[in-house]
Structure 1
Amino acid sequence: MDNSLVLIIEDEPEIVEILESYFSREGFRTVSARDGATGLSHHQRLKPDLVVLDVKLPVQDGYEVLATIRRRGDTPVIMATALAEDLDKLQALRIGADDYVVKPFNPLEVVARAKAVLRRATGGHSRSTIRVGPLLIDPDAYQASIDGPFERILLELTRTEFRLIAYMAGTPNRVFERSELIDACLPEGDALTRTVDSHMSNLRRKLTIAGAGTILTGVRGVGYKLTDGHGQKP
């Protein structure tokens, strides 16, 4: 099961809802934006693994957004548009799109193309295990564990708990605001500050039972961070 974060930049709510549903079924995390400027803000802040990008967008069109994403780096991008002209496809590919789908599209095809693009981006190799102190995250197996003094302890996490800890493990020692964690990891309708706190409380309890409670800490008035635990008191 995949845990990659997909940013959907699309101004039609129905299309966003359908894509989010299909990506979520395959284990992807999703976040969406309804205009180009917001999409670029999300891309800068959340560092998605892949972008599904419409061409005709408010504020900034898809070509402008794609050009900016390419200036920033090599995030894989799939262009999704109602335009079927070869020149439009060539324009997208020239600017740096990794693939191109034409509306109306089959959402299953979009997800399949996303998987293929991500495989190409990683050279066909599985993403390596992430380590933060005694914590090990295996994104491909959707598992988290703690290296104890005598054995490795598997954490029994809910999907949302895994998303949260895996997302934070990508940038250890950084403070994550609650709003960012909501955008990146919590499903729509579950996006309340107190819900984040509840998930974090459960995570801290499970980490404590496994002997690693000090690696997850709260930062008063801001959010949470995941550290290696050195020099911290439980």
Structure 2
Amino acid sequence: MQSLYEPNETEAAGGAARILVVDDDPTVAEVVTGYLHRAGYVVDRADDGPTALTRAAAHRPDLVVLDLMLPGMDGLEVCRRLRARGPVPVIMLTARGDEDDRILGLEVGADDYVTKPFSPRELVLRVESVLRRSRPVTTGHRLAAAGLRVDPDARRATKNGGELALTLREFDLLAFFLRHPGRAYSREDLMREVWGWDFGDLSTVTVHVRRLRGKVEDDPARPRLIQTVWGVGYRFEPTGAVS
């Protein structure tokens, strides 16, 4: 299985990142593809789930723009199958008002979502943001606390020596918490510091905290490391002491 953090064909050659656009609406797909091309990306297209999986297997994308409502195999199932093959950033396209579907998309591992109708320029900015955070930044040091170890350079995280299967945002969120133990952060703070956005649906943060707890807490129903600070947000307590 090839890791997201190993360079693919285009990156190894010093070329543009490869984006896979999956949408059964030809107009949407054409507009999105055009904007991404103009932004300097190599773009593949697919109009259904099976074709998307075939294209992704043939040419591993650096990021997938994935419509939730696809014929036959929906975007949630496509996202699950992509994740089963290895980590890859996913931005999901959803219909406005379908909050449950958006949360489901985040639950299966989407890194971000954009609601239809959307601005193609905003989508390009989201793509740039997700790709920028998916690339390792050399820091020269590792983070460790409470049995958790994070290597930002290798983009690897472990708990008590066992590998953690984290999505892009989960990894960034855990690394942020380890860098700032004992301090309470609001969801707005986390969205700005981890996602790099000054706007957005704060349920994105809530879902990612819940998913991260499910992977790092001994009992996610009674979290001791990532604690809720009522009226504020969340705080990482490496001692696991309940306040």
- TM-score, normalization by structure 2: 0.49
Q: Equivalent residue for 1:65? A: 78
Q: In terms of Rg, which structure is larger?
A: 1
For the 8 Å contact 1:78–1:100, the answer to whether it is kept is yes
Q: Which of 1 and 2 has higher RCO (CA within 8 Å, sep 6+)?
A: 1
Amino acid at match of 2:85: R
What CA RMSD, in Å, does the superposition of the two structures yield over aligned residues? 1.6
Q: Equivalent residue for 1:79? A: 92
Corresponding residue to 1:108 among 121, 124, 127 = 121
Amino acid at match of 1:103: K
Q: Equivalent residue for 1:40? A: 53
Amino acid at match of 1:117: V
Question: Over residues 121-177 of structure 1, what are the superposed CA-to-partner deviations in whole Å (9 max), with x where a residue is unaligned?
Answer: 11357xxxxxxxxxxxxxxxxxxxxxxxxxxxxxxxxxxxxxxxxxxxxxxxxxxxx
Identity across the alignment (%): 42
Corresponding residue to 2:64 among 51, 74, 78 = 51
Runs of 5+ in structure 1 lacking a partner?
A: 126-234
For the 8 Å contact 2:94–2:102, the answer to whether it is kept is no
1:45: Cα distance to partner?
Answer: 1.0
For the 8 Å contact 2:22–2:66, the answer to whether it is kept is yes
For the 8 Å contact 1:2–1:26, the answer to whether it is kept is no
Amino acid at match of 1:65: V
Residue 27 in structure 1 maps to residue 58 in structure 2? no
Secondary structure of 2:19's counterpart equals strand
In 2, Cα distance between equivalents of 1:124 and 1:85: 35
Aligned length: 125
In 2, Cα distance between equivalents of 1:2 and 1:111: 18
In 2, Cα distance between equivalents of 1:58 and 1:38: 11
In 2, Cα distance between equivalents of 1:108 and 1:37: 28
In 2, Cα distance between equivalents of 1:36 and 1:115: 24
In 2, Cα distance between equivalents of 1:19 and 1:2: 20
Q: Equivalent residue for 1:4? A: 17
Secondary structure of 1:123's counterpart equals coil
In 1, Cα distance between equivalents of 2:85 and 2:15: 24
Question: Over residues 1-22 of structure 1, what are the superposed CA-to-partner deviations in whole Å (9 max), with x where a residue is unaligned?
Answer: 9711100000000011101110
Q: Equivalent residue for 1:98? A: 111
Amino acid at match of 1:107: P
Question: Over residues 20-66 of structure 1, what are the superposed CA-to-partner deviations in whole Å (9 max), with x where a residue is unaligned?
Answer: 11001111010100111101110111101100000111121100000
Residue 13 in structure 1 maps to residue 26 in structure 2? yes
For the 8 Å contact 1:40–1:69, the answer to whether it is kept is yes
